[in-house]
Amino acid sequence: MNFPVLYLRKGAERRLRAGHLWVYSNEVDIQRSPLTQFEAGTQAELRASNDKPLGVVFVNPHALICGRLISRDAAQGMTPNRLTQRMETALALRDRLFDKPFYRWVFGDSDGLSGLVVDRFGDTVVVQISTAGMEQMKESIVRAVQRLAHPKAIILKNDGKMRSVEGLDAYVEQAHGPEAALLEVEENGVRFEVPLEGGQKTGWFYDHRMNRQRLQAYAPGKRVLDVFSYVGGWGIQAASAGATQVTCVDSSSTAIDSVHHNAKLNGLENVETIEGDAFDALKALAEEKEKYDIVVLDPPAFIPRRRDQKAGEQAYARLNQLGLRLLDRDGILVSASCSMHLSQEKLVDIIRGSGRKIDRFVQLLEQGHQAPDHPIIPGIPETDYIKSCFVRSLTSFM
């Protein structure tokens, strides 16, 4: 295949040689290859400043990440056949890991498919495309899903924030099969139904699957508070595992309705909800002198960009202090984060500082990461984003 050539500035290839797949616009030699000459979604051969071929990239001249490496063979770009092969390789891993078709099938760069996320919900597959290059492969993606999984329905939920960065329109489209208002999920033996319209991301977060499974070991006989509960992923699983009482907190009325729906779906009558801002709800519960055996904090990303680091870390600190205050003697705090820019070590340090701030002796019992259907590429730190800490809080020990 003949590709136009995108040249890098001197030394800019080091990160790529170390295993990364992204090219930033300030790394391009715009004298030799002006970005303005490329159309969004074009495939191009990537070369180092010394003319050595590095592979093939999807190019988007309008984005900060203007190149995404899709092949390290400069003669081989992304074709429908190569796309299908990579999706088949990704599917083989998930089918080996899980006995039922409820998982993240494709996790972008981690599966060699930058800009593509595919989630399975039984007989329904939800596809999310976030880059111009993958948008041009849309029909091939749908055909590959049909060939490999034979689902009843395929939904293109292309309304994520990244699409505007790539200059793409937002839309939700039924690509195959009957329309569905609800997506069915089974996780750790617990059933859920989540709304497609207005739901977050593809509708469900499979990334905390293993951490929610670990919560079940702590839940029997305990009173649990699930903060930023969304549709009840943590709280419903805790209740199903034997928690005596669960309270789910979320600011979305739709999410709160889903919590009640999912509780009934699993025959649970010990789940209640609080609709409102999480910080306000935690403060009100503290003023009412409420206490819980387990508090789960799973907020949205407080550090979406590097420049938000300081404010985000302060928000995590405030949240963890409030959570610790609501724990009864010998309680368990489950503190989670999906902020890529917050390291596991920093989260532990925030919990340590939060404990000292309110005079709590904390013991770190377990640390959790993202489930294996969200594989991490060591050369791409951005693929390592989920972390959780299971912490025991003692009011008096030393």
Active-site residues, by number, are: 338
Sheet of 116-121: strand order equals 102-107, 116-121, 124-129, 153-158, 171-176
Question: Whole-angstrom Cα distance, residue 274 to residue 287?
Answer: 15
**Which secondary structure element, helix H or strand E, spans residue 341, and what is its range?**
none
Q: How far apart are CA 201 and CA 159, in angstroms?
A: 8
C-alpha neighbours within 13 Å on the C-beta side of residue 341 = 15
> Measuring CA to CA, which residue among 103, 77, 78, 108 is closest to residue 91?
103
Which alpha helices (H) appear in 278-384, and where do they start and end?
Answer: 278-287, 309-325, 344-357
Pairing of β 53-59 and β 271-275: unpaired
CB distance 237 to 259 below 8 Å = no
| Cα-based angle 104, 192, 194 (whole degrees, multiple of 5) | 75
